[in-house]
Amino acid sequence: MELKSKRRDPLGELDIFDPDTGSMVRRGLGANRANASPEALSVLADETIWALGQEVSFGQAVAQGILSIIQQSPTCLQTYRTGVRTAGAKGPTLGRLMAIHLVPVLTADHTRIRHLFCKAFEVMEKAGAYTLTKPLEALDRILHGGDHRSAEIYLSLLCTAFSREMPYNRRQQLAALLPKAAFQYAPAKRPWQLSQLERVMRVDDRLALALMTGMDKGLDLLSALALSRFVSQGLERCEPDRQRAEKFFALESRSGRSVFDELQVAASFCQVQPQLNRYLQARTGRKLTVRLVSALSMRGGDTPFDSGGTFSDRKHIYLPNEVERFETKTDNVRVYKCLARFEAGLHEFGTFRFDLERALELCRENQQCFLLPDPAQSGIQPSVAVSDLERFFNLFPEPLLAEDLFLIFEHGRIRHLLEQSYPGLVSTCLPMFQQEARMLLSKGLNRQALIPIYARIACGLSPEDSERELSGESRLVRKTAELFDTAMQRRVPTAETSGELVAASYAVVNTQLDPCRRAAGIRSYQPLQTPFLRRIRPDLHQISGLRIERLARSIKMHLADRGIHIYASVLRDYLESRRGELGTRDIEKILRDPKNYTNKARTARQPICRDRVDVALQAVAFGTDTESELPAAQHSNCPAFWYPEWDCRLGDYLSDHARVLECAVEGHASKFYESTLIRYAGLVQQIRSVFELLKPQGLKWYRRWIEGDEFDYHQLLDFALDRRAGRTPSERLYIKRLKALRDVAVLLLVDLSRSTANAVAGSDTSVLNVEKEAIVLFSEALQVVGDRYAIAGFSGAGRLGVEYFQIKDFSDPLDDDVRCRINAMAPRRNTRMGAAIRHAASRLSAETCRVKLLIMLGDGFPNDLNYKKTYAVEDTRRAIAELRAQGVHVHAITVNMNPANASHLDELFGDIHHNLITDVTDLPDRLWRIYGALTR
Amino acid sequence: MAETSAAETDGYRIDREPFYLPAGDELKLFQAACDARLPVMLKGPTGCGKTRFVEYMAYRLARPLITVSCHEDLFASDLIGRYLLKGDETVWVDGPLTRAVRLGAICYLDEIVEARKDTTVVIHPLTDHRRYLHIERKGEMLRAHPDFLMVISYNPGYQSVLKDLKQSTRQRFVSLEFGYPDPEKETRIVANEGGVDLQVAARLVSLAGKIRRIRDQGLMEGASTRLLIYAAKLVHHQTPQREACRTAISLPLTDDRRLQETLNDLIDDYFAGDGTEIKTA
């Protein structure tokens, strides 16, 4: 009997039982088959066959499970077997869950987790098998991330939660929310966040649900201690009144909010983002905004700085997710502000305008002791993706050291320039950087020998401060600082000056650092650690502007071929400011300034001939838009209207080019309108009173009437005077108050493009939903003031399919139909603005009011198939101009747009005819105000 | 036309040369318009120097200047004049416009769009080739003094569509456009008017430049030169610089707290650490 079992072929048996599973197992085993013990194989086959006997999916899960742990110890296999058997005895569904989720638990090899898992499984199974699926999936993911501590607490939380008595609905809710929460929390904070959740759960599950809501609203920003204090305070409130505590935890009560505000010390990116963006726009006047470091897709994680820190590319300053460096929130917000302010300096003072050619010329002029090879002599055309700065660093034997030195001198240069232009900025922000630098200094120097130099030059620490901690290197620090100070005094320093300083100091620093490094036993170069991990990332900057770079290099090359030598950085700047288009006249302008010539040109002294420039520019090919036109959507039974479109390339109209289809809107009933009114009850009240006030203003006084409400004293006086003078007095002695007709017709044209479906930052509602709320309030306001108004939406795809949705016509009363149609407004496709405006104009022209107004509400620029950029902007501008010529006032409101693009809105609508509302949630409060101001 | 006596015009003469730095060729243009007896419209944002320019021109041309600030309740009779009782006599009293027409003064109607539409119509015959003023109550047709000049100011940034200038009014004027002066000139203006040194003035001007960049973030208009001068004056009167800027620039410009914070951040870039720490609410 025994002999027989030894010769047994378990996999063969499995094949006979179920060939599909058998082949799956063979595939899964693959190369491991030789390593797997015969016992393990027979367990695999036996258990799988047993499970297959119950249900196919159960059997396959078991097979998969055993395959994943087949390399583990026999005890482990035994535990798995027992676990699955016990669960499987209660039914294949439970068995399958166990078969799947026991695997990561066993792989984690952690006794307590295993124990807790069994307990939790039992508890949840009792509570109802439906509670198992999602929570266990989340456990898998946590364990997969290697976070054993969180897994432990999470399991214990599950035990506590599901051993409580509660109604079915709530249990279901918990089964959905607990795993979601556990996975959402940041791994670093997850353990203590979950344990606080458990603490609350022990008291009351409803409170735990409230706490999870609160976490979504910002409680996750609290530190461990702060969260624990918050929970304690909440639990104290629970004693007398559970509902109060619920509101407290969900941050719905005022006391909850205020305790949270008190305890919160971390500043989060979302809180400071709009503020910083506005600041950067004002400060630099460029398209520069802040962005999360995590928004940057990592490319291989080549340096430790990819995981955090502060740096810039062409359009963004990357900042950390949250700052919790200091004890108060104000200080942490200040960290963000200081970082943004200093980083803005890099953009303002041209760090990324570094020109390799110019830097090398500068080095040679000043006879730098370090001899740099001339990259031009190598004859290799460098890749466009490699920036001038990187190419410069690569000239040195140790590029990373050169990069760090550049960082030191460049940050020093920016500090120097900031001190001159913005003394207030430096006096408020620099101390913070100095404090950080001191902290880094005190941490020990063996690994980071450049820190004292950084502290001295970039942070401006006094010699005493930066040299206190070191003895041997103080001479190096002093010498480098002297070198830097002299360079800063010489003239206005540029990024190339920093490059020159790198070349001047590289050799000395390298020889001094070498013994240091050897003493510490470090072979490879360790990059410098700066306060708040600030770095200069020329690579990112380069990648975000490849098109410009390619053009600049190509123009430079073609010009050089024709004997015209100018710096690439000059071309780059021009191209950037002209949005990638450069003409002969621009080049001529560049050529007029001798500073733009390279040394080569100065020696060659060739006269510049316009023809050569022209030929060079022609040689540079520009890309064209090649998108094909899609067939227009099928709208067979909508009334169609044809409109011309302005083609700026032709300088003429294309007649009957765009077809506008007036689509019927199927309204659908919902509580949206009413709930908006309720949500904004306070505001609605205010709107009503403000617009009531607008109305009496419309009650005009008419003087010199024959009959009226009261005497006009001016006229009475004249009457008396005339009588005395013997003239016939006028009988027009009265003032009459008449309701002046606010003879206004307004059409609100709403852009329903796809982008309006985007979620509003920090909430789960969409841009369009907020717009709709604004429309509700707007209608309320107009209802009060009594102006004639219409609401319409537009979208579409292609020139033949522009859709125009009539939500409310001028003559429609604001009834349930209209309300339903407002509800039904939904994001559609593109934005062919010109045609929609022309159609709106035809609607408005039918109105007889004296003042006609078109308000456009949108979230971006016109964009459709073959309707892009300049073409689209020009056509829209044209359409607006046509309207203005007809005496219709046009005003645009743009929401949710990056303020950096706002200058283009001036081009589109004219600088006083539009409003930009960066934060769309302000719209409901702003729309009616803007209308009020427009018709004041 | 009778020569006007010196006594009549005394009150309207500008005795001391007002400080004005020309930004372009507006002096020449104004002079030319004046010689050709063409009415002038000054367009520009608030506080950029329109009124000062008129004062300066009045001084240069040695003409009396009569200024009327327009408002909603300004009637034609307020401009033209009316009869008054003096004892048993009825006496005609000229309004500012009539006075200017008689004296050959410059009549400056500030913020003309604020006036009632029917009021603006009375200036029509004065502002074309006819150059007369019809005084209905007296039945007088008053021919304008050869030196009479009509100047109006108008702020296009004023957004109400109901208060736009009528074409019939617009097209009676030649227009000079005013903007904020370039930084170097603005610095000299702020230093001179506000009584601060050039360095502080330069910082104020640079600050204003930054604020003007975010006009469309909710500011109706950017920081005007006038506000900068106010800030400078406060500094001149021993107010710490940062506080002066907040009081004279950030608070008047907007009521929006978030926007104020940005403005204060910008102010801090230049003026923080001048010895005053201000508690922010």
Q: Is the pLDDT of residue B12 over 80?
A: yes
A607 and A733 inside one domain = no
Beta-sheet pairing, B40-43 with A914-917: unpaired
Mean pLDDT of B202-208: 93
A376 and A329 inside one domain = no
Q: Is the pLDDT of residue A851 over 70?
A: yes
Mutate to test the interface with B, among A333, A422, A426, A702 (most CBs of B within 10 A): A422
Q: Is the pLDDT of residue A603 over 60?
A: no
Task: Find chain B residues with C-beta within 8 A of A744's C-beta.
Answer: 162
Q: How far apart are CA A76 and CA A313, in angstroms?
A: 51
Q: Is the pLDDT of residue A249 over 60?
A: yes
Of the candidates B162, B217, B274, which has its C-beta nearest A278's C-beta? B217
A59 and A182 inside one domain = yes
pLDDT at A298: 47
Residue A560, chain B, CB below 8 Å: the answer is: no
Q: Is the pLDDT of residue A835 over 60?
A: yes
Q: Is the pLDDT of residue B265 over 70?
A: yes
Q: What ipTM score was computed for the predicted complex, to two decimals?
A: 0.78
Q: Is the pLDDT of residue B152 over 60?
A: yes
Q: Cα(first)–Cα(last) distance of chain B, in Å?
A: 64
Q: Is residue A632 part of a domain?
A: no
Contacts 24+ apart (CB under 8 A), A646-655: A646/A834, A646/A874, A646/A875, A646/A878, A646/A879, A647/A871, A647/A875, A648/A870, A648/A871, A648/A874, A648/A875, A649/A871
Alpha-carbon distance B126 to nearest alpha carbon in chain A (angstroms): 24
Residue A281, chain B, CB below 8 Å: the answer is: yes
Mean pLDDT of A331-350: 91
Of the candidates A275, A282, A934, which has its C-beta nearest B210's C-beta? A282
pLDDT tens for each residue of B177-194: 998 999 999 999 999 999
Of the candidates B162, B206, B261, which has its C-beta nearest A935's C-beta? B162
Q: Is the pLDDT of residue B280 over 60?
A: no
Residue A740, chain B, CB below 8 Å: the answer is: no
User: With left for phi above 0 and alpha for psi between -120 and 50, is residue B50 left, alpha or beta?
Assistant: alpha
The number of beta carbons lying within 10 Å of the beta carbon of residue A468 is 15
pLDDT tens for each residue of A187-223: 888 888 999 999 999 888 888 889 998 888 888 888 8
Please give the order of strands across the beta sheet that includes A640-647: A640-647, A652-663, A802-808, A788-796, A744-751, A851-858, A888-895, A914-917
A355 and A230 inside one domain = no
pLDDT tens for each residue of B221-262: 889 999 999 999 999 999 999 999 999 999 999 888 888 999
Of the candidates A278, A721, A853, which has its C-beta nearest B83's C-beta? A721
Of the candidates A428, A718, A889, which has its C-beta nearest B83's C-beta? A718
Q: Is residue A653 part of a domain?
A: no
pLDDT tens for each residue of B68-83: 998 877 878 888 888 7
pLDDT at A4: 45
Q: How confident is the model at residue B158 (pLDDT cuts 50, 70, 90)?
A: low
Q: Is residue A36 part of a domain?
A: yes
pLDDT at B246: 93
Q: How confident is the model at residue A373 (pLDDT cuts 50, 70, 90)?
A: low
A184 and A37 inside one domain = yes
Residue A915, chain B, CB below 8 Å: the answer is: yes
Q: What percent of chain A has pLDDT over 90?
A: 4
Nearest CA in chain B to A718: B83
Residue A275, chain B, CB below 8 Å: the answer is: yes
Contact assignment for A703 to B75 by CB distance below 8 Å: yes
B-side interface with A, Cβ within 8 Å?
A: 75, 77, 82-85, 88, 90, 137, 156-157, 159-163, 206, 210-211, 213-214, 216-218, 242, 258-259, 261-262, 265-274
User: How many domains is chain A built from?
Assistant: 6
Q: Is residue A123 part of a domain?
A: yes
Task: Find chain A residues with C-beta within 8 A of B88's C-beta.
Answer: 724
Contact assignment for A424 to B157 by CB distance below 8 Å: no
pLDDT at A518: 65
A319 and A370 inside one domain = no
pLDDT tens for each residue of A522-535: 667 777 888 888 88
pLDDT at A761: 67
What's the predicted TM-score (pTM) here?
0.67
**CATH code of the domain containing A839:** 3.40.50.410
E-strand spans in A725-824? Answer: 734-739, 744-751, 788-796, 802-808
pLDDT at A2: 43
Q: How far apart are CA A354 and CA A571, in angstroms?
A: 12
pLDDT at A554: 82
A383 and A515 inside one domain = yes
Q: How confident is the model at residue A468 (pLDDT cuts 50, 70, 90)?
A: low
Better-predicted residue by pLDDT, A565 or A103: A103
Counted across chains A and B, CB pairs separated by less than 8 A come out at 113
Q: Is the pLDDT of residue A49 over 60?
A: yes
Q: What percent of chain B has pLDDT over 70?
A: 91
A325 and A395 inside one domain = no
- A592: tokens are 């007029």
Residue A916, chain B, CB below 8 Å: the answer is: yes
Q: Is residue A657 part of a domain?
A: no
Radius of gyration of chain B, Cα coordinates, nearest whole angstrom: 22
Of the candidates B265, B272, B274, which has its C-beta nearest A279's C-beta? B265
Alpha-carbon distance A829 to nearest alpha carbon in chain B (angstroms): 28
Mean pLDDT of A126-154: 87
Alpha-carbon distance A856 to nearest alpha carbon in chain B (angstroms): 15
Q: How far apart are CA A776 and CA A770, in angstroms?
A: 10
Exposed/middle/buried for A365, CB within 10 Å: 0-12, 13-18, 19+? exposed
Mutate to test the interface with A, among B91, B177, B262 (most CBs of A within 10 A): B262
Task: Find chain B residues with C-beta within 8 A of A721's C-beta.
Answer: 83-85, 90
Mean pLDDT of A896-922: 71
Q: How far apart are CA B235 and CA B190, in angstroms?
A: 11
A27 and A109 inside one domain = yes
Range of lowest pLDDT (A79-88, A431-440, A856-865) = A856-865
Nearest CA in chain B to A854: B161
Q: Is residue A634 part of a domain?
A: no
Mean pLDDT of B202-206: 93
* Stretch 674-713 of chain A: residues touching chain B, C-beta under 8 Å: 703
Beta-sheet pairing, A322-323 with B40-43: unpaired
The residue assigned the tokens 């609203």 is: A217
Q: How far apart are CA A5 and CA A19, in angstroms?
A: 21
Task: Find chain A residues with C-beta within 8 A of B216's C-beta.
Answer: 899, 902, 905-906, 911, 914-916
Contact assignment for B272 to A744 by CB distance below 8 Å: no
> Of the residues A344, A369, A392, which one is the last residue of a structural domain?
A344
Q: How far apart are CA A120 and CA A852, in angstroms?
A: 69
Mean pLDDT of A618-647: 55
Of the candidates A421, A714, A933, which has its C-beta nearest B77's C-beta? A714
Mean pLDDT of B26-38: 93
pLDDT at A608: 54
A502 and A447 inside one domain = yes
Mean pLDDT of A49-66: 88
Q: How far apart are CA A254 and CA A309, in angstroms?
A: 36
Domain that holds residue A155: 2-265
Q: Is the pLDDT of residue A370 over 80?
A: no
Of the ranges A495-504, A549-558, B99-108, B206-215, the best mean pLDDT one:
B99-108
Q: Is residue A96 part of a domain?
A: yes
> How does DSSP classify residue A915?
E
pLDDT at B201: 94
Task: Find chain A residues with C-beta within 8 A of B156's C-beta.
Answer: 912
pLDDT at A769: 80
Contact assignment for B210 to A851 by CB distance below 8 Å: no
CA A181 to chain centre: 22
Contact assignment for B84 to A721 by CB distance below 8 Å: yes
Alpha-carbon distance A281 to nearest alpha carbon in chain B (angstroms): 7
Contact assignment for A281 to B214 by CB distance below 8 Å: yes
Contact assignment for B161 to A934 by CB distance below 8 Å: yes
Q: What is the mean pLDDT of chain A?
A: 79
A763 and A687 inside one domain = yes
Alpha-carbon distance A717 to nearest alpha carbon in chain B (angstroms): 8
Q: Is the pLDDT of residue B272 over 70?
A: yes
Mean pLDDT of B198-207: 93
Better-predicted residue by pLDDT, A367 or B69: B69
Q: How far apart are CA A575 and CA A548, in angstroms?
A: 7
Exposed/middle/buried for A735, CB within 10 Å: 0-12, 13-18, 19+? middle
Nearest CA in chain B to A915: B216
Q: How confident is the model at residue A738 (pLDDT cuts 50, 70, 90)?
A: low
Q: Is residue A733 part of a domain?
A: yes
Task: Find chain A residues with C-beta within 8 A of B208's C-beta.
Answer: none
Q: What percent of chain A has pLDDT over 70?
A: 85
pLDDT at A253: 85
Better-predicted residue by pLDDT, A110 or A376: A110
- The residues, ordered by sequence, that sit 6+ positions from A31 with a Cβ below 8 Å of its Cβ are none
Q: Is the pLDDT of residue A52 over 90?
A: no
Of the candidates B262, B270, B272, which has its C-beta nearest A279's C-beta? B262
pLDDT at A465: 64
Burial string for B229-244 (b: 16+ CB within 10 Å, else e) reads bbbbbbbbeebbbbbb
Q: Is the pLDDT of residue A923 over 80?
A: no
Contact assignment for B160 to A935 by CB distance below 8 Å: yes
Contact assignment for B82 to A717 by CB distance below 8 Å: yes
pLDDT at A378: 56
Mean pLDDT of A655-676: 78
A254 and A297 inside one domain = no
Mean pLDDT of A375-388: 70
Range of lowest pLDDT (A343-347, A504-508, A894-898, B219-223) = A894-898
